[in-house]
Structure 1
Amino acid sequence: MRRRGAQFWLWTNSRLPLHTHEEVLGNGLQVEVQARISVEGVTQVFVGIYDDNGWAICEEFHDRRAGEHYCTALKWGAQRAREWLADTQAFVAPHRPQLTLSPVITDEPTLALRRMEMTDRERLKIRSEDAWSEYLAAKTAMLELMRTSKVDPRVWSDHKERLRQAIDRRVCVQRAYLN
């Protein structure tokens, strides 16, 4: 059973017919996308992401173009949910299992602006810039640590892991960006 948040209750309208797409991801997260046509003829999409217990993690709704088919809107909503999850889930390098960094961007207004519709090329460019800035920050932190006279072994291993993950993230994003 899903525990709906405020965004769902603001969006819901029982008089309008809707179409639903639902997914359960491997980690237990549930994705629900609903599309409907408003009275004015505008296609509207609701995107909800819920944890394995049904609690709302993210709920949002969007007005799409007038006359857009609901199938297209459902596909867009599913892609939007994947992007939201990719932006908020920890990065995992595809070539080796490891513990990873949290997302580079933590400022909510910045994340919201990044989630706006943009081309794949623009999205990859932003991810590339984020990966580069994270790499520079990790490198600077490691260099400062190397300049100190005494270093705790746990702090050293944490900084070393951060730098290695920043390098992995940068390489992975660059490969996608250059293709």
Structure 2
Amino acid sequence: MRVQAMTAAAVLALTAACSPAEEKAPAPAPAAEAPLTGRAAIYAAGERDAEAFVRALYANAAAPLANDPAAATISPGRDPLYSRTLNALIGVDFREAQSRNEVPYLNYDPVCACQDADGFALTGLKMTPDGEKAASADATFTNHGETQQQTLKLVKEGPMWRIADVVDAKGQSLHDALMAIAERAEG
């Protein structure tokens, strides 16, 4: 009887040692992912919604990521921030200027309406849906101590929101200016 009791105790001890409870010990907590920055943050926001996309654009203008690897590989006319049409027009502008050894019309960042930002801050934003896959963003911001306004015309292409046009406070459309260059190039 004593041998049976010892055998039963040994079996219980071995069973407890190999029990599923021990095999399913809590896994170490995954390392917290670093927050997205630069272009990666803009792309992720562009997949959420139009307002998040615009806010990420202006946040990047306020604090651009130095040596952003996503920005380093972008060539004129192939920028994921812009719609297919606007990219095509930017490409024509660049190639036309290059063929004449001139500076392209679009030689500035249309998001901040500048070549460099200093003290940049988005101070106002009004979003207006223009359908399921289009929206307008009326933005007010300061740069170099001056207040500026512009409207970003947005379009959703694939899973991401993109800039289809930038209209300044005087009503000048980037799309229209680039279209005029493209039309002259055809002639």
Q: What interval of TM-score do these two structures reach, taking the shorter chain for normalisation?
A: under 0.3
Q: Which has the higher helix share?
A: 1
Greater relative contact order (Cα 8 A, min sep 6): structure 1 or 2? 2
Q: TM-score, normalised by structure 2?
A: 0.25
Larger radius of gyration: 2
Q: TM-score, normalised by structure 1?
A: 0.26
